[in-house]
Every structure is written in C-alpha cells, then in structure tokens.
Structure 1
Amino acid sequence: MTLVLFKGKPGDLIEIFRKAFQHWAIYIGKNEVVHFVLDGGLSTGLSASLSSTGKVLREKLTDVVGNDRYKVNNHLDKRRKARDPSIIVKEACAMVGHELKYSIATFNCEHFATKMRYGVGVSQQVCI
C-alpha cells in the first residue's frame, strides 16, 4: 500500500482495519509506528485468551498495515486533550521492547495507543 496520500503527523493515532477488528498504532514520523501486539507478533486480541503477554514494537507503517485499509483517527480529540506530539513520540519510543500484560478487555492495542496520545487508555472496540 502506498503512503503517497498519507497525511499523518507524529503523535497521531493510526487505525488499521483488519478483517474482524481494528488494530491501533501511534505514528512517530518517517513512515514508522509504535504499536502493542501479542507475543508472537499477532496484532489481534481475537485469537488470544482473555489475558496474556504482549510486546511494544517499532516498525514501518507499511509493514504493519500490509494490504489493509488504514487512516488517521484521533477519535477522542473532541473529548480529551491530546498531549504534545513530542511527548507522545518520546514516551511511545521509550516503551519499545517492553513486555506488558495484554487483556482484550482492559489493555489491548487501542488502550496502548490512546494512553500514549491522551495519557489514559481507552478502547471503544471493547464493550464490557
């Protein structure tokens, strides 16, 4: 997928449309994102148990997106104040390599991405 029309800015949330769910990442600039995935490189909570371990990765946006559709989606900007982009990028990059407890209900890729952007983890995909 080409990034010719991509208008993302560092600190933006990137929503990636997989077949049965959305995967979320933080754009850090230069075609790179930081995102939270299940151990084994799976970026889906659907194939995981309700609670397991995940890892924070830094990868090229094109590698993470593959052939899936994606967009910038700072969906909480009207309800929450986004942190300064330099802080978002710095803190996201500092998390790279960390292993974190993954929970589809309480800490998934969307929770991670929104925590980086807004300082609080929120997932609108999860209905508890």
Structure 2
Amino acid sequence: MGTIASAELKPGDLIEIFRPGYQHWALYVGDGYVVHLTSAGDITGAALANIMSSGTERAIVKKELLSKVAGKCMYRVNNKHDREYPPLPPREIVRRAEEKVGQEMPYNLTSDNCEHFVNKVRYGVHRSDQVYQATELILTGILGMGLAVIRTLTRVQRN
C-alpha cells in the first residue's frame, strides 16, 4: 500500500484511497488520471458532514490526477471482486468512466456512493462493501445489546 508508480497502474483498475474514517474509490483511466464520484469540493470535511447528516446529496463525476485526489492519503489498487465478477475489458471500463465525467448524479452514503459508482463501471454491479460491513457491524451491535438485555431480564426473573 502507499503511492504506486504510474507504470504499475493499469487502465480500469479500482483505486482505494484511505481517508480518515472511510475509503474513497476511484477508477484509474491512464496517464496518472482517475475518474471518481465526488461532491463539488470532494467528500471531505464539511461536505462529508453534510452528506452524512442529510443522507442524500448531488455529486459530480470528475476526472483528476490521482495525486490530487489522494493528496497525502495512502492508496492501493484493489480489484477485489475480479474473482466474483468478471471485469469488463479495460478499454470499455475507461470509456464508461470517461463518458460519465461532468455528469451530476445522486449521492447517498448507503445506496449511491463512490464505491457503488466504480463497481458499476468496472463490473456492471452496483455494490459497496463499506455499506455492507457497516450494516453488519450495526446489526451485530443491536443483536449483542438485545442478548445482553435478555440475559439481564433472565437474571432478574430468577432472583
């Protein structure tokens, strides 16, 4: 993980950028550029807080230098679903990504985020593992709290 030499990146690769508290996703399209779904000022700071509180927002597809998008954050190639879903040919991935550049799209943290966007373009599959993992953690927490309450009530009934 870290900064990757441009020669190691291949057009169509998914790039996972590690931001504080979440991962931002982009598609490498060549010559140091990525295409990604983001708010007008990128989804950081006040923009992220606004999106998280409101639940929905509009976002824009941008083509920018990976070095600008990643900033000082670590990143890596993560084509994690290649075994489960065959990726489209690289030329088709790049074409699909670049034809979206400049388009405004709905943004929703749980149903239409940057990870959904890149997976849809690379694999034709609308999915976000971050959302799935967060939902799983929340449900596990709720289940754990429910079991704790049942145990407490059971102890109280015995006494």
TM-score for the superposition, normalised by structure 2: 0.75
Residue in structure 2 matched with residue 69 of structure 1 by the alignment: 74
Q: CA RMSD in A?
A: 1.9
Task: Kindly indicate whether the alpha-carbon contact (under 8 Å) linking 1:23 and 1:43 is maintained by their aligned counterparts in 2.
Answer: no
**Match in the other structure for 1:19:** 20
Higher relative helix content: 2
Q: Which residue of 2 aligns with 1:35?
A: 36
- Name the % identity: 42
- Output one character per residue of 1:75-98: Cα deviation in whole Å (capped at 9) or x when no partner: 111110100000000010000000
Is the radius of gyration larger for structure 1 or structure 2?
A: 2
**Alpha-carbon distance between aligned partners in 1 of 2:4 and 2:110, rounded to the nearest angstrom:** 32
Bigger shift: 82-91 or 39-48?
39-48
Which one has a larger percent strand, Structure 1 or Structure 2? 1
Equivalent residue, structure 1, for 2:5: 4
Deviation at 1:41, TM superposition (A): 2.7
| Superposed counterparts of 1:46-125, under 5 Å | 46-47=48-49, 48=51, 49-125=54-130
Structure 2: 5+ residue stretches without partners? 136-159
- Structure 1 unaligned segments of length 5 or more: list them: none
4+ aligned runs moved over 6 Å, structure 1: none
